[in-house]
Amino acid sequence: MSTQGKVKGIIANLVTVEADGPVAQNEICYLQTRGTDLMAEVIKVNGANAFVQVFESTRGLKIGDSVRFTGHMLEVTLGPGILSKNYDGLQNDLDKMDGVFLKRGDYTNPLDDDTLWDFKPLAKSGDEVEAADWLGEVNENGKPHRIMVPFVFEGKYTVKSVVEAGEYKINDIIAVLVDANGKEHNVTMVQKWPVKKAITAYREKPRPFKLLETGVRTIDTINPIVEGGTGFIPGPFGTGKTVLQHAISKQAEADIVVIAACGERANEVVEIFTEFPELDDPHTGRKLMERTIIVANTSNMPVAAREASVYTAMTLSEYYRSMGLKVLMMADSTSRWAQALREMSNRLEELPGQDAFPMDLSAVIANFYARAGFVYLNNGESGSVTFIGTVSPAGGNLKEPVTESTKKVARCFYALQQSRADGKRYPAINPIESYSKYLEYPEFEEYIAKRIGDKWIASINELKTILLRGQEVSEQINILGDDGVPVEYHIRFWKSEVIDFVILQQDAFDKVDMNTPLERQEYMLNKVMGICHTDFQFESFNEVGSYFKRVINNLRQMNYSEFETDEFKKFEEELNQIINERKVA
């Protein structure tokens, strides 16, 4: 018999329930009011009292209303049909809901029970399997969706039977497994998994080392991220966090893209819903939405429940990783999630930490980021979840707790700078403040040496040094004036500007410049570094700026031209002529 309870206290969407039996942390319950069941999650247990956060408006709820505990955690339904769906944080299919405003207590099935899937068996009778092993697969929007042994299964199982190839519904039995005690277990295409618990059914989780190409030069060339890596993008309002995330989502070499709109509710989310279905996937030629999952925190859901969408999105990402796929997960913005944690912590009257955030904020963020990663599956195949979140620090203060806590665990730090955004230097990533710790890993150095060459990382370090020296000269010119510093200083500054305009800046609206393959990035990096290594002769500082503007203009025209075409080579030839004008013999 399930545990029952009564409402004892109400503070917004935090409700105190007196239970008549055992209750578990993160257990789901339903509060019954006026004929409507309101879904809630247990966030704290104190004796017979359970503190639950309600995922709906609690208007009309009163003391004494009945509560029914379900005995299971907040979980997602996993199976074919997830791709291209628009979910809320509870995995309700938003496209199945009617009206502009979602009806309270209205919950939908995340999958379509009646769809027929063309099943192909991968296992056979007599095979020994364990959790996450592949029993078969179906084609889901051009991707191989593997049907796996449920993650909750423990130990070894023997396959008694697997259905023949053919069309089946997700709830049809596709395999029968026998455990060590001889008990038979029926397996369908559907399984459930609690969102707060990581899926760990894999053989090994090594340190990631393979470069994840995003097509964004300031990331791939300057501070690269890897498959299964973690990064975050902090920056004040208007610096381009969401636009940068969208660009990475469209262009990165990932099989699946999962977007968690856990904080933004305005034009950013609207753009995702309206733009993604219309975009062509540059990798497959199909629609980008076909390999995308959107988990949005809807306006009907209280702000304190924002963490549901983050954890739901991560669990879906881990599920597809277990199929041997490369998953890219983007969260916008984790600051809103942290603020939701602060709100609930304050309502629970817990001891506050810095800026009233929970004392365990760093641990919560660290545990979540740790769920990303590159893994080797039981069959030797590999899969990955690469996670990039955005942080919206109040007033652009990068010393606030959420940014500092995230900085401790994320390996890549892409700091957006207000002054660069104001100067229309997009992406507005500060090349000096930002970093990638993957550049320090020997495994990554070996991978890059085989992929591109052993001089790549040395060139990156030298490039950063040139940018830093250029910034120092810029500050001196601002103080002393143009004629107050030697001509050599002006040359040093303009060489850093060549790097900025040609490598760091990128036009997201140009069909060529918006996405730069790694081979082209290497070519342009060598071209720019060659200019930086060249000695030039000038009579006065007035000549320096006008000359380097011509150099930058030709290099940018090369960026806008298809790689190695006649047009590209024409601009390159013109560039060589310009360089020879002032080059020291």
**Using one digit for the tens of pLDDT, what is the confidence trace for 196-210?**
999 999 999 999 999
Is residue 375 within 8 A of residue 321, CB to CB? The reply is: yes
Query: Is 188 marked within a binding site?
Result: no
SS3 content of the chain, % helix, strand, coil (to 5): 35, 25, 40
What is the pTM assigned to this prediction? 0.95
pLDDT confidence band for 277 (50 / 70 / 90): confident
d(CA 149, CA 177): 9
pLDDT confidence band for 435 (50 / 70 / 90): very high
d(CA 328, CA 248): 9
Give pLDDT, residue 264. 55
Whether the link from the prior residue into 333 is cis, omega within 30° of 0, is yes
How many C-alpha atoms does 214 have within 13 Å on its Cβ side?
A: 28
Query: Is 453 marked within a binding site?
Result: no
pLDDT confidence band for 100 (50 / 70 / 90): low
Give pLDDT, residue 262. 83
d(CA 502, CA 489): 20
Query: Is 6 marked within a binding site?
Result: no
Query: Is 236 marked within a binding site?
Result: yes
Is residue 61 within 8 A of residue 31, CB to CB? The reply is: yes
4-72 maps to CATH 2.40.10.170: yes
d(CA 170, CA 415): 44
pLDDT above 80 (res 273): no
456-582 maps to CATH 1.10.3720.10: no
pLDDT confidence band for 454 (50 / 70 / 90): confident
Query: Is 583 marked within a binding site?
Result: no
Mean pLDDT of the chain: 93
Among 265-269, 277-281, 284-288, 525-529, whose mean pLDDT is lowest? 265-269
Q: What does R_g of the chain's alpha carbons equal in angstroms? A: 27
Amino acid type, 10: I
pLDDT confidence band for 286 (50 / 70 / 90): confident
Q: Which tokens belong to 245?
A: 């995330």
Give the bridge partners for 5, in sequence order.
Answer: 19, 67
Spell out the SS3 assignment of 290-349: HHEEEEECCCCCCHHHCHHHHHHHHHHHHHHHCCCCEEEEEECCHHHHHHHHHHHHHHCC
**Using one digit for the tens of pLDDT, what is the confidence trace for 543-558?**
999 999 999 999 999 9
pLDDT above 60 (res 360): yes
pLDDT above 80 (res 304): no
d(CA 490, CA 477): 9
Query: Is 240 marked within a binding site?
Result: yes
> Quick one: how far is CA 141 from the chain centroid?
21
SS3 state at 77: strand
Q: Which tokens belong to 202?
A: 């894999």
Query: Is 200 marked within a binding site?
Result: no
Give pLDDT, residue 473. 96
> Quick one: how far is CA 87 from the chain centroid?
16
Which residues make up the CATH 3.40.50.300 domain(s) of the chain?
217-391+401-416
| Nearest Cα residue to 276 out of 295, 291, 260, 254 | 291
d(CA 347, CA 525): 53
CATH for 217-391+401-416 (3.90.1150.10, 3.40.50.150, 3.40.50.2300, 3.40.50.300): 3.40.50.300
d(CA 337, CA 343): 10
How would you class 266 by CB atoms within 10 Å of its CB: exposed for 0-12, middle for 13-18, buried for 19 or more?
exposed
Is residue 537 within 8 A of residue 584, CB to CB? The reply is: yes
**Using one digit for the tens of pLDDT, what is the confidence trace for 345-354?**
998 999 999 9
117-189 maps to CATH 2.40.50.100: yes
Torsion, Cα 195 198 199 201, to 10 degrees, reads -160
Among 178-192, 302-316, 421-435, 537-551, whose mean pLDDT is lowest? 302-316
pLDDT above 60 (res 266): no
d(CA 379, CA 135): 12
Mean pLDDT of 186-190: 98
Mean pLDDT of 337-362: 92
13: how many CB neighbours lie within 10 A of its CB?
23
H or E stretch including 474? Answer: helix 456-480
For residue 424, what are the CA distances in angstroms to 220, 427, 431, 501? 21, 9, 15, 11
Mean pLDDT of 426-450: 94
Query: Is 465 marked within a binding site?
Result: no
Give pLDDT, residue 265. 55
